[in-house]
Structure 1
Amino acid sequence: MDNKTLLRFDLNLIKVFLAVWDSGNLTIAAGRLGLTQPAVSHALRRLRDEFGDPLFVRSGNGMAPTQMAASLRSAFEESLRLVADTMQATTQFDPATAARQFRVAMTDTGEFVILPRLLAALQTVAPDVRVRSSRIAPDDIASALRTGQVDAAIGYQPRLPETSCLGWPVMRDRIVCLFRSGHPLEARDWTPDAFSGLSFLDVGQDATGYRMARERIADLGIPYRVVAQVDHFTIVPEIIRRTDFVALFPYSVCALMNRHGEFGFCELPFDVPDFDVNFWIHDSFASDPGLIWLHGLLAQTLQD
C-alpha cells in the first residue's frame, strides 16, 4: 500500500475486518457494528480490492480467513490501538462541560441496580453527559468493545480476561434465593434437600451470574426444578408475589426491590462464590480520560 493509498484508507474498514474475523459471518458482523449486511459486504469488497486477496472465503456456514487476512489481523488491531492512544493523549475530559455519549452494555438487572444511581450522579456533576445502555450477548461483548460498538460493558464476565479487555472493579455481588413474604420456605429447615424441593422461576439464560450459579448447582448434583423460564427480570417480582415459586437472584437487586417487605431472600444452602461486577473496556482505550472518569464515578456511586 503506497502513501497515497494509505492517506485515503478508511479506518472503518478495519472495524469491519475485525468484526468479520470475530464472527465468521457477515450478517452477525453487521449486527455488531450497527450496519446493514450489504454495507458490510461493500466494505469487504473494498478491502479485497485494496489487498488483492479474498481475505475471507466461505467455509461451511461461515467465513474463514485466508493467509493474507491472518497476517493483517495483528497489524489492524495495533493500528486501531495507536489511533485510539493518539486521540486520547490529546483529549481532555472535563465532566462539567463534556457533551459525550457513553455506550454501555449491561443486563436488565444491571440497569436496575446501576442506572438510577449513575444518572442521578451525572445530573449533578456532568449534566451534558449521556448514557446509552444496550443489551449484548456475553459471547459478543469482546468484539463489541474492540470494534467500538460500545465504549464499555458492566457486569460479571469471567471469559473476558482471556481477550484483550480490561476489567475495573465497581462492586461485588452474590446469588441468593428470592421468594414471597409468607412463603412456606420460611418455616422449613434450609438445607440442600429443601432447595431441591422448590419450584424455580429461571431468569436470564445469558446472564453470567445466573449461569455460574446454575453450573455450580449442576456440579454439586443438586436437583433444580424449573417450572417456568423468562428472559427479563422485570416480570419476576409479580410472578413471585402471586405464587410459591422462587428464583435465583442477585442480592443487589433483591435489596433494592424489597423496599416494602413483600419478599424474602436467603443465602443458598451450599457454597456458591460471590462474583465481581466490573467495568470492562478494550485495552486500546485504557487511557481514554472519559472512560477512566466514568469508571471512577460509577465505583464511587455504587459504594455510597
Structure 2
Amino acid sequence: MDNAALHRFDLNLIKVFLAISESGNLTQAANRLGLTQPAVSHALRRLRDEFGDPLFVRVGNGMEPSQTAIALRPAFEQVMRLVGDTMQASRQFEPATSDRQFRVAMTDTGEYVILPRLIAALHSVAPQASVQSMRIAPDDLGAALRTGRVDAAIGYQPGLEQTGAVARPVLNDKIVCLFRADHPLTRQPWTAESFAGLSFIDVGRDATGYRMARQFIDDLGIRYRTVAQLDHFTIVPEILRRTDFVALFPHSVCRMMNRHREFDHLELPFGVPTFDVSFWVGQAFSSDAALTWLYELLLTQMEA
C-alpha cells in the first residue's frame, strides 16, 4: 500500500478485518459489528483490492486467513489500540453535560444487582447520559470490547483477559443456596447429604459463576434432583415462595432479593470457590475518561 492509498484508507475496514479474523465467518463478523452480511462482504472486497490478496478464503463453512492476513492481524490490532488511546486521551468527560449512551454487556442477574443503583446515580450526576444493557455471548465478548461494539462488560469472565480486555475489580461473589424463609431446611443439619436430597430450580446455566459452581459440585460427585430448568432468574422467587424447592444463586443477588426477609440462604456445605466480578473494557479504550468515570461511579454505589 503506497502513501496515497494509506491516506485514503478507511479505518472501519480494520474493524471488519479483525472481526472476520476472530470469528472465521462473515455472518458472525457482521453480527459482532452490528452490520449486514452484504456490508461485510463489500468491506472485504475493498480490503482485497487494497492489498491485492484474497486475505480470507472460504473453507467449508468458514473463512481461513491467507499468509498476508496472518501477517496483517497484529499490525491492525496495534493500530486500533493506538487510535483508541489517542482519541480517548484527547477527550475530557463532563458528566453534567454529556449525553453519552454507555453500552454495557451483562447478564440478567448483573442487571438486577447493578443497574438500579447505577442508573439512579447516573441520573443524579449525569442526567442526560444513559445506559444500554446488552447480552453478548461469552465467546463474542472479547471481540465486542475490542471493536467498540460495547463500551464495557460487567461480570465474572474467566479467560477474557486473553483477548486483550482490561479488568477492574467490582466485587467478590459466591454461589449460595436460596430458599423461602420458613423452609424446613433451616431446622435440620446442613450437610452434603442434605444438599443432595433437595429439589432444585436450575437457572442461569450459561452464567459463568454458576457454571463454575456446578462443575465444582459435579467434580465432588454430588448429584441432586432438578425439577425445572429456566433461562431467566426473575420468576424463581415466586416459585420458591410456593414450594420447598431451592436454587443456586449469587450471594449478591440473594442480598438484594431478601430486602423484605421473604427468603433465606446458606453457604454450600462443601466450600465452593468464590469468583470475582469485574468491569471490563477493551485495551484500546482503557484510557477512555468516560469509562473510567463510569467505573468509579459504579464502585461508589457498590460500596455504599
TM range (shorter): over 0.9
User: In 2, are the aligned partners of 1:56 and 1:64 still within 8 Å (CA)?
Assistant: yes
User: 1:157 is paired with a residue of what secondary structure?
Assistant: coil
Q: Residue 232 of structure 2 corresponds to which residue in structure 1?
A: 232
Q: Residue 209 of structure 1 corresponds to which residue in structure 2?
A: 209
User: In 2, are the aligned partners of 1:171 and 1:277 still within 8 Å (CA)?
Assistant: yes
Shift of 1:65: 1.0
The correspondence of residues 148-187 of structure 1 with structure 2, limited to 5 A, is 148-187=148-187
Once the two structures are superposed, residues 275-298 of structure 1 have per-residue CA deviations (whole angstroms, 9 ceiling, x without a partner) of 111000111111111111111111
Partners of 1:14 and 1:202 lie apart in 2 by 42
User: In 2, are the aligned partners of 1:167 and 1:278 still within 8 Å (CA)?
Assistant: yes
Shift of 1:60: 2.9
195-204 or 181-190: bigger deviation: 181-190
Q: Specify every segment of 5 or more residues in structure 1 that has no aligned partner in the other structure, as ranges.
A: none
Partners of 2:160 and 2:8 lie apart in 1 by 34
56-65 or 78-87: bigger deviation: 56-65
Partners of 1:280 and 1:140 lie apart in 2 by 14
Which letter does structure 1 place at the counterpart of 2:14?
I
Partners of 2:73 and 2:208 lie apart in 1 by 29
Partners of 2:272 and 2:160 lie apart in 1 by 21
User: 1:233 is paired with a residue of what secondary structure?
Assistant: coil
Q: Residue 111 of structure 1 corresponds to which residue in structure 2?
A: 111
The correspondence of residues 264-303 of structure 1 with structure 2, limited to 5 A, is 264-303=264-303
Once the two structures are superposed, residues 108-139 of structure 1 have per-residue CA deviations (whole angstroms, 9 ceiling, x without a partner) of 00001101100111111111121111011112
Q: Residue 20 of structure 1 corresponds to which residue in structure 2?
A: 20
Partners of 1:15 and 1:229 lie apart in 2 by 38
The correspondence of residues 24-39 of structure 1 with structure 2, limited to 5 A, is 24-39=24-39
User: In 2, are the aligned partners of 1:217 and 1:224 still within 8 Å (CA)?
Assistant: no
Q: What is the count of residue pairs matched by the alignment? A: 304
Which letter does structure 1 place at the counterpart of 2:139?
D
Which letter does structure 2 place at the counterpart of 1:53?
D
Partners of 2:12 and 2:187 lie apart in 1 by 61
Kindly indicate whether residue 241 of structure 2 is the aligned counterpart of residue 260 of structure 1: no
Shift of 1:268: 0.4
Q: Residue 125 of structure 1 corresponds to which residue in structure 2?
A: 125
Shift of 1:269: 0.5
User: In 2, are the aligned partners of 1:154 and 1:278 still within 8 Å (CA)?
Assistant: yes
Partners of 1:15 and 1:90 lie apart in 2 by 21
The correspondence of residues 66-77 of structure 1 with structure 2, limited to 5 A, is 66-77=66-77
Shift of 1:50: 1.1
Partners of 2:231 and 2:104 lie apart in 1 by 20
What is the TM-score normalised by the length of structure 2?
0.97
Q: Residue 81 of structure 1 corresponds to which residue in structure 2?
A: 81
Shift of 1:244: 2.0
Shift of 1:3: 2.0
Once the two structures are superposed, residues 61-97 of structure 1 have per-residue CA deviations (whole angstroms, 9 ceiling, x without a partner) of 2111111110010111111111111111211112122
User: 2:281 is paired with a residue of what secondary structure?
Assistant: strand
Partners of 1:239 and 1:34 lie apart in 2 by 37
Partners of 2:33 and 2:303 lie apart in 1 by 34
User: 1:287 is paired with a residue of what secondary structure?
Assistant: coil
Shift of 1:236: 1.2
What is the TM-score normalised by the length of structure 1?
0.97
Which letter does structure 2 place at the counterpart of 1:125?
V
User: In 1, are the aligned partners of 2:16 and 2:44 still within 8 Å (CA)?
Assistant: yes
Q: Specify every segment of 5 or more residues in structure 2 that has no aligned partner in the other structure, as ranges.
A: none
Shift of 1:15: 0.9
User: In 2, are the aligned partners of 1:137 and 1:206 still within 8 Å (CA)?
Assistant: no
